[in-house]
């Protein structure tokens, strides 16, 4: 076997750390998985524990019973520890960004694996992963906090990045821009005046501030009011399954990648 492509991550993980992303994947891409013949999902770089891969498998099987999930890790010791937890439809394999799987995946989840790379490398691996997708497939790449209470992820298809999603527990931040440290590699260093992502987070903070009176009815109501105010000047996704009040009530907000994409 050729040497896996990539570098070993810290491997930090924990139960339910990726629940927010899994919930979004099930809602946003459930139709894709249900429509595919033997849909394959890859969990890339699952870390020191098999837990989040098993959780992804369980959650996706609930909405797409035919789905198969492969957890891929670059560290042989981590793969060996996960092997006893394999079952029908769930397996673990040694590998990296080359995705050593038998057929193109309908979906790849890659969380907390690109933070250690430079921006150019991160774009390169985005392209490499997209090239391995099945027709119509998607890549969900992002980062989250140690507990999973704050997360940001990008949805990509064969043509490139399409969406950017912010997700947080309502008591996990003081203002929305606190999620900036979870931005994808290509945006995190562009959170400076003159860049679209900086303008978005600035306006999100303002919307959160002016919605403070709604906090008397709970932080969820303040969040909903803030999204309403924000949508007056930003193309917040309003339609299900990516947007709308049902998603916003969960502490999510999604917008088109083009709205925050760097100019160069």
Report helix, strand or coil for 188. helix
Distance of CA 15 to the CA centre of its chain: 16
> Residue 38 in contact with residue 66, Cβ under 8 Å?
yes
Token duo for residue 73 = 């890790």
User: Quick one: what percent of the chain has pLDDT higher than 70?
Assistant: 100
**Residues 118-155: tens digit of each pLDDT:** 999 999 999 999 999 999 999 999 999 999 999 999 99
Question: At residue 263, does pLDDT exceed 90?
Answer: no
| Average pLDDT of the chain, as a whole number | 96
- The enclosing H or E element of 207 equals helix 196-210
Token duo for residue 157 = 């298809």
Task: Give how far Cα 101 sits from Cα of 2, 71, 134, Å.
Answer: 13, 10, 12
Domain 19-257 fold is: Rossmann fold (3.40.50)
Task: Give how far Cα 156 sits from Cα of 21, 127, 142, 160, 202, Å.
Answer: 14, 10, 11, 5, 25
Report helix, strand or coil for 171. coil
Which candidate, 180, 162, 147, places its Cα nearest to that of 52? 147
Return the domain boundaries, the chain. Answer: 19-257
């Amino acid at each position: 076997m050729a040497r896996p492509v990539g570098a070993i991550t810290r491997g930090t993980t924990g139960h339910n750390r990726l629940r927010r992303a899994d919930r979004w994947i099930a809602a946003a891409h459930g139709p894709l998985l249900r429509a595919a013949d033997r849909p394959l999902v890859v969990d890339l770089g699952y870390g020191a524990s098999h837990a989040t891969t098993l959780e992804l498998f369980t959650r996706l099987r609930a909405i797409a019973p035919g789905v198969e999930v492969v957890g891929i890790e670059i560290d042989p010791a981590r793969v060996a520890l996960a092997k006893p937890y394999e079952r029908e439809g769930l397996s673990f394999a040694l590998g990296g960004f080359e995705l050593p799987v038998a057929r193109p995946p309908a979906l790849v989840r890659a969380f907390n694996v690109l933070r250690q790379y430079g921006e150019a490398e991160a774009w390169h691996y985005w392209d490499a992963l997209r090239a391995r997708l099945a027709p119509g497939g998607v890549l969900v790449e992002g980062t989250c906090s140690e507990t999973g209470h704050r997360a940001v992820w990008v949805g990509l298809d064969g043509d490139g990045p399409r969406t950017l999603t912010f997700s947080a527990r309502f008591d996990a931040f003081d203002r929305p821009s606190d999620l900036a440290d979870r931005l994808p590699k290509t945006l995190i260093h562009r959170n400076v005046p003159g860049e679209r992502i900086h303008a978005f987070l600035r306006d999100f903070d303002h919307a959160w501030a002016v919605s403070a009176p709604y906090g008397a009815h709970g932080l969820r109501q303040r969040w909903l009011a803030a999204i309403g105010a924000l949508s007056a000047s930003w193309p917040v996704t309003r339609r299900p399954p990516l947007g709308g009040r049902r998603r916003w009530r969960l502490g999510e907000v999604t917008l088109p990648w083009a709205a925050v994409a760097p100019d160069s």
